[in-house]
Structures are given as structure tokens and as C-alpha cells.
Amino acid sequence: MSNTISRPSVRRAAAGRAGAGLRGERLAPYVLVAPAILVIVGLRLWPLLLGVNFSFTGDGERDGASVGLDNYADLFRDPLFQTALRNVGLLVLLLPIAVAIPGLLATFIYLRVPGHRFFRSVYFFPAVLSPVIVGAIFNLLLAFDGPVNAVLGSVGLGPIDWLGDPHVAMFAVVGVHVWATFGMALVVFLAGFATLDGALLDAARVDGASLPQTIWHVIIPGLSRTIQFVFVTTMIGMLTSMFGLLYVMTSGGPEGSTYLPEYYIWIQQGQMNRPALASAASTVLFVIMLVVGLLQLSLLRRAVKES
């Protein structure tokens, strides 16, 4: 057979094979990525779209009927949801403190304060506790007749209704959340310190810089990327993982002052039997997370460019 084939036809056949190979090569990435895409579309995007779709339907007697933007109107009229959104704003304001605490403690450990090895493990310890356990412990400590108020009483202060005063409760819960989670940020900071140039610190010492000056002029600029990373992860942690603590410590109270969107969604879906309204609240939370995430990403990019 091969004897009868002319040279041009061999070239054509070779070109055909090469063409098929090229097409295969072009398609291969899509084929390889397809399972992942299918999983993402089927298990992430499709449920997300269903959730958004449900948010345009009614609850109770109007179950299944199209209600347009009624759920969203209800949501933004609900003072409880407004409080939940205000609390998201409060978390953003408290974020620098939540980042500064592990940053400062990591600095002290890096500068080898006496007992730094002991502190390193102690600071990390709460990170391995479940929020439910942490909440239960602090419920006992912060009870009106609990040990914290007893200590305050012995020095002539208080008592403070830590979890029963609407002006205090949110700060108490955020404080406990920071206590329980700063260990992770501390580890990230310590990893960042490992990349810091020791010569710069030595130079600062030789020049007679004080501790605040060293932190401000050497450590913070040297760790800018680490700080940005901790900002992003701490914010995500605050917005998405405070449910357990809120559930155990305040149940959203007193007066609804400790509601966050996540808790609101759970109450509407589980307790009030209003899944469509809960879907609308989920959609709003999704948009908030998207905006916060994109803002943080752009900040991060700008910071990296500057450094």
C-alpha cells in the first residue's frame, strides 16, 4: 500500500495528523478542566442561582409565587437586618485592632521577650478550641454574677452586664472572637518575621532607635505584605465564622444588638419559616462579601506594587 502513495499525499496525511494533534492539544486543557468546572457549576453556581431565584418568591401563603423585589424591600425595612448590617460596619472598624493585637504580640515574641517560647504556645492554644467551647467558657466568666465581675467588684468597679447590655455585648463577643482566633494570625506574623532582614533591625539598634521607632520604621514596612494578608483573612473570619460564638454567647441579643447577617439568615430560615426572605438576606450577604473581597484584593495589589 505504502508504495502507491505519492509524496504529496504523505505530506497531507502528516499535516492531517499534525492538525488533529493540534486540535487535541487545544481541546486537552478544556477536557482536563471540565470535571472541576462541572463540579463548580453544579454544586456552587447552580445552587447560588437557585438561592437568588428563591429570593424573588414569597413565603407562607405566597409560597412559590413571584413577588418581585418584595423580600428585599422587607429586608431593608427590617430594623433587625439594619442592625446586622451596622454590625458588619462595626467589624470593619474593629479590624485594625484585631490585626494589631497578634502583630504586636508576634513582635514581642520575635524580639525575644523573656518567656517568648511559652507565650508562643499559649497564644496559639485557643485557636484549637471550638467556638462553642470558647462561648461556654466566656459565658461563665462574663456572667453577671461571674468571676470577671467579682474581680471588678473587689477593686471597686462594675458590675458590668457584659452580655446583657446592648452597648457592650457586641464588643464582648468580638473581643472573645479575637481572643479565640488571633493565634492563627500570630503564626502568620511569625512566618513573616522569618523573612525580615535582621541586619535592618541591628542597624536600627546601632542608630539608637527606640522600640516604637523600630516597629514603625522597620518592622511595619518590612511586613507590609504579611499585614495585608492578615487583614484579608481576619476580615473573612469575622464575617463568616462568628455564628457559633453568637449563638452560644448572646443568641443575637440583647435587643437584637449582636445580630450579624449570617445569624439573621439562620433565624429567618430555621425559626421563622421564611426561606425566601432568608434567600434574599443570603444574596445581600454574598454581595457584601464580594464587594469587601474585591476591595481587599485591589488594596493588596496596590500594596504589593508599592513594595
Q: Which residues bind other proteins (CB under 8 A)?
A: 49-50, 52-54, 56-57, 59-60, 63-68, 80, 139, 142-145, 159, 161-166, 169, 250-251, 253-256, 267, 270-273, 275-276, 278-279
Cα 76–175–219 angle (5° rounding)? 110
CB of 251: closest distance to other proteins in angstroms?
A: 5
C-alpha span between 222 and 193 (Å, rounded): 9
Name the nearest CA neighbour of 162 among 181, 177, 149, 150: 149
CB of 61: closest distance to other proteins in angstroms?
A: 8
CB of 178: closest distance to other proteins in angstroms?
A: 20
Bridge partners (DSSP) listed for residue 63:
58
**Residue 91 or 278 having the CB closest to other proteins:** 278
Please classify residue 243 by burial: count the beta carbons closer than 10 Å to its beta carbon, then call 0-12 exposed, 13-18 middle and 19+ buried.
Answer: middle
**Residue 24 or 64 having the CB closest to other proteins:** 64
CB of 58: closest distance to other proteins in angstroms?
A: 8
In the chain, the N- to C-terminal Cα span, in Å, equals 68
CB of 133: closest distance to other proteins in angstroms?
A: 16
* Residues near 180 by beta carbon (within 8 Å), at least 6 away in sequence: 126, 127, 129, 131, 134, 245
**Residue 70 or 262 having the CB closest to other proteins:** 70
**Residue 39 or 50 having the CB closest to other proteins:** 50
CB of 230: closest distance to other proteins in angstroms?
A: 32
CB 165 within 8 A of CB 158: no
C-alpha span between 95 and 283 (Å, rounded): 24
- Supply φ then ψ for residue 58, to 5 degrees: -95, 170
**Residue 219 or 285 having the CB closest to other proteins:** 285
CB 149 within 8 A of CB 159: yes
CB of 33: closest distance to other proteins in angstroms?
A: 27
Q: How many residues does the chain have?
A: 307
**Residue 84 or 106 having the CB closest to other proteins:** 84
**Residue 158 or 293 having the CB closest to other proteins:** 158
CB of 244: closest distance to other proteins in angstroms?
A: 15
Cis amide linkage into residue 131, ω under 30° from 0: no
**Residue 166 or 293 having the CB closest to other proteins:** 166
